[in-house]
Structure 1
Amino acid sequence: MSVAESRRIVLFRHAKADWPQVTDHERPLAERGRKDAAEAGRRLADTGVPFDQALCSTSTRTRETWKLAVAEFPQRPKTVYEERIYEASPGELIAVLNETPDDLRNVLVIGHNPGMEGLAEILAGSAEDEARERMGRRGFPTAAFAVLTFDGSWKDVEPGVASLVDYWAPTD
């Protein structure tokens, strides 16, 4: 694959979590979160994007979100559970993406806010009007995802490099 080819990043916030008496890292999904995670998986599968890799936070709620979402995919991508995604800032998330091998074209990141929303806003130098309007109106609620495209190497991921081409969030 040429590094000049178009690449796709999907930023996917974990689904709604419950609040039992456990540490934040160990919080499981709530009933609504399980439903929304599966619906988000169906929506991601409907995009037709053949994901090469998923980078998932190690928290319980992100791992559960990913398990339910990927069950809806026609083909499961390689999954890497990455500790650095938990509580990561947009800059830290960019550093993780910069390490992605250039033979991968489409990468999905399953993480947390405010990192997911901040990264979507920072990377999107341009946007489809409808996607920008939906994301601006909805913010980045649980189980939301943003689809961004860019040309170049993963080492080139930096603020403003991408275009926001799609956005989805579950209805309340």
Structure 2
Amino acid sequence: MKTLTLLRHAKSGWDDPVARDFDRPLNPKGQRAAAMMGRHLKAEGLEFDHVLASPAARVVETLAQVATGYGCELAPHWDQRLYLASAATLLDLVHELPDGAGRVLFSGHNPGLEELVLLLAGANALRASVEMKFPTASLAEMRFDVARWADVKPGKGELVRFTRPRDLDPTLGPDYR
């Protein structure tokens, strides 16, 4: 059994004057959402054998805030290929994961993360929620009945968790500023 958890970076600051999209930082709401998601991961007992993340500033900051809420470092492996990756690229990265890692966290960007969930997950109510929107700082957890990551196939995953920041704190939803 393999478990893949996908965490989209938290809300970034479009008002920040940065030269490159890659360097865009989190805004205060994003920092709060990421720390809250870290507390949620801890409360739910989620642990990871391997963490793979985009090195973009907003992902680096998201994981730092998640670690603060979680209570320990996540020790991510930074991989440039996750920056704005397509679902196909992300699936390639899944297939490359070390088989000794049973529980993996990917942290990156949309639309790739959302498209990967929709590609891999079988139909259920949680999948329908992801189809509507995969907001910033949201978390999706999928399980695969395989021994090797290379055997993960489209439509064969079970989406067992989809948590948005507003599910944990309504002030982190779109209706609040």
- 5+ residue gaps in structure 2? 167-172
Deviations 1:27-58 (A, max 9, x none): 00001000000011111222212211111101
Structure 2 counterpart of 1:3: none
Does the 8 Å CA contact 1:52/1:78 hold for their aligned counterparts? no
Matches within 5 A, 1:150-161: 150-152=144-146, 153-161=148-156
Letter aligned with residue 7 of structure 1: K
The partner residue of 2:122 within 120, 125, 130 is 125
What TM-score do you get using the length of structure 2 for normalisation?
Answer: 0.87
The partner residue of 1:111 within 92, 108, 115 is 108
How much identity, in percent, do the aligned residues show? 37
Q: Provide the secondary structure at the position in 2 that maps to 1:49.
A: coil
1:147, 1:80 → 2: CA distance? Answer: 19
Matches within 5 A, 1:77-156: 77-127=74-124, 129=125, 131-137=126-132, 139-152=133-146, 153-156=148-151
1:170 aligns with 2:145: no
Does the 8 Å CA contact 2:51/2:106 hold for their aligned counterparts? yes
Structure 2 counterpart of 1:21: 17
State the Cα distance separating 1:133 from its structure 2 match: 4.4
- 5+ residue gaps in structure 1? 1-5
Q: Provide the secondary structure at the position in 2 that maps to 1:109.
A: strand
| RMSD (Å) for aligned C-alpha atoms | 1.5
1:151, 1:70 → 2: CA distance? Answer: 29
Letter aligned with residue 45 of structure 1: K
What TM-score do you get using the length of structure 1 for normalisation?
Answer: 0.89
Of Structure 1 and Structure 2, which has the larger fraction of its residues in strand?
1
Q: Say how many residue pairs are matched.
A: 164
